[in-house]
C-alpha cells in the first residue's frame, strides 16, 4: 500500500514537471528568463502566505492532530507545491482568480492525498486552510 502511495506521489511530480516544461516551451520569454520569473514570483507568494512558526504549528495540529517535524514538513511541502504551480501558471500568462486558485489547491492537495490519509479529514482541512490564503496570494500576484 505504501509503495502505491509513493508511486502516485511521484506520478504527480512527473505530471507537474511535464506541465512546467510545456509551459516553458510555449512561453514568450527564454526558458532561463521564465524560470527566473517563476522563482521570483514563487518567493513573493511564499513570503505573503508564510505563517510564523507558532501559527503554522497551530494549523498543522488542526489538520493532522499533531505537529511533529514530519507533518510540519508535509504541510510546508503541500503549501510550496501550490505556490510553485500558481507562480508557474501566472508567469506564463494564465489569469489566476479565486476560482482558478481553488482548482489549483484542490489538484495539488489531491496529488498528496495518499500522504495525507493517515489523519482523518486532513485532505479537506488542508484544502480549506490553503484556500483561505487566497487574499495573500492575490496580493502577491497582483
The interaxial angle of helices 69-91 and 122-131, nearest 10 deg, is 50
- How many other β-carbons are positioned within 10 Å of the β-carbon of residue 24? 19
Domain assignment of residue 95, given as a range: 2-141
Rg (CA), the chain: 15
Report the domain count for the chain: 1
Residue with the larger pLDDT of the pair 127 and 142? 127
On the question of pLDDT at 108 being above 50, the answer is: yes
The CA distance from 69 to 35, in Å, is 30
Length of the chain (residues): 142
The pLDDT of 48-56, averaged and rounded, is 69
Stated pTM of the model: 0.67
Nearest alpha-carbon partner for 91 in 49, 141, 136 = 141
Amino acid at each position: 500500500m505504501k509503495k502505491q502511495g509513493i508511486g502516485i506521489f511521484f506520478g504527480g511530480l512527473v505530471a507537474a514537471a511535464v506541465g512546467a516544461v510545456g509551459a516553458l516551451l510555449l512561453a514568450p520569454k527564454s526558458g532561463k528568463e521564465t524560470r527566473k520569473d517563476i522563482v521570483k514570483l514563487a518567493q513573493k507568494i511564499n513570503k505573503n502566505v508564510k505563517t510564523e512558526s507558532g501559527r503554522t504549528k497551530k494549523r498543522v495540529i488542526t489538520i493532522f492532530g499533531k505537529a511533529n517535524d514530519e507533518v510540519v514538513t508535509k504541510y510546508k511541502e503541500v503549501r510550496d507545491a501550490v505556490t510553485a504551480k500558481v507562480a508557474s501558471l501566472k508567469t506564463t500568462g494564465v489569469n489566476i482568480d479565486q476560482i482558478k486558485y481553488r482548482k489549483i489547491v484542490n489538484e495539488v492537495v489531491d496529488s498528496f492525498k495518499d500522504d495525507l490519509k493517515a489523519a482523518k479529514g486532513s485532505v479537506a482541512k488542508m484544502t480549506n486552510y490553503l484556500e483561505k490564503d487566497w487574499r495573500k496570494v492575490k496580493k502577491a500576484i497582483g
